[in-house]
Amino acid sequence: MRTSSVLIMMIVCVLCLTGTAMTGPQDMPEVKKQVAPAYPTILKEAGIEGNVWLKVLIDEQGFVAKAETIKCEHPAFAEAAITAVKQWEFTPARKDGKPIKAEVTIPFRFKLSDKGLKSKHGDLLRLHDDIIKFLHGDGDNNVKGRVGSTAYAVVGNTYGSLPSFFTDGTKKNLLIEGPDSIVEYKRSVLGDAEDMAYLLLKTKPAPGKPERYHTVVFVKSPEGEWKISAWHAGS
Query: Distance between CA atoms of 9 and 44, rounded to whole angstroms?
Result: 9
Q: What is the pTM of this model?
A: 0.52
Based on the domain organization, do 120 and 229 belong to the same domain?
Answer: yes
Same domain, 69 and 149: no
Q: Which residue has the higher pLDDT, 84 or 121?
A: 84
> For residue 32, what is the domain's CATH number?
3.30.2420.10
End-to-end CA distance of the chain: 18
> Is the same domain home to 169 and 222?
yes
pLDDT (tens digit, 9 = 90+) per residue, 200-225? 888 887 677 778 888 899 988 888 88
> How far is it, in rounded angstroms, from Cα 106 to Cα 100?
19
65 pLDDT band, cuts 50/70/90, is: very high
The 10 Å CB-count burial string (b at 16+, else e) for 115-128 is eebeeebeebbebb
More confident residue, 113 or 147: 147
Residues 85 and 121 placed together within one structural domain of the fold: no
Is the residue at 218 inside a domain?
yes
Strand partners, 161: 152
Q: Looking at the structure, tell me whether residues 98 and 195 fall in a common domain.
A: no
Amino acid identity, residue 142? Answer: N
In a domain, 187, yes or no: yes
pLDDT digits (tens, 9 = 90+) for 134-162: 988 886 778 888 999 899 998 888 898 99
Which residue range forms the structural domain that includes residue 159? 116-234
| Residue 12, pLDDT above cutoff 60 | no
Instruction: With respect to residue 2, please indicate whether it lies within any of the assigned structural domains.
Output: no
The predicted pLDDT at position 84 comes to 92
CATH number at residue 167: 3.10.450.50
Is residue 143 within 8 A of residue 228, CB to CB? The reply is yes
Q: Is the pLDDT at 64 greater than 70, yes or no? A: yes
Q: What is the percent of the chain where pLDDT is above 90?
A: 16
Residue 204, domain member (yes or no): yes
pLDDT band for 172, please (50, 70, 90 cuts).
Answer: confident
Q: 107 and 121: one domain?
A: no
Tell me, what's the pLDDT at 45? 65
What was the pLDDT predicted at 229? 92
CB 169, CB 188: distance < 8 Å: no
Using the 3D structure, point to which of 77, 112, 147 is the last residue of a domain.
Answer: 112
Task: Please indicate, yes or no, whether residues 50 and 122 belong to a single structural domain of this protein.
Answer: no
Q: Is residue 84 part of a domain?
A: yes
Q: Any idea how long the chain is?
A: 235
Query: What is the domain count for the chain?
Result: 2
Q: Exposed, middle or buried, 108 (CB in 10 Å: 0-12/13-18/19+)?
A: buried
Is residue 105 predicted with pLDDT exceeding 60? Answer: yes
Does one domain contain both 26 and 123?
A: no
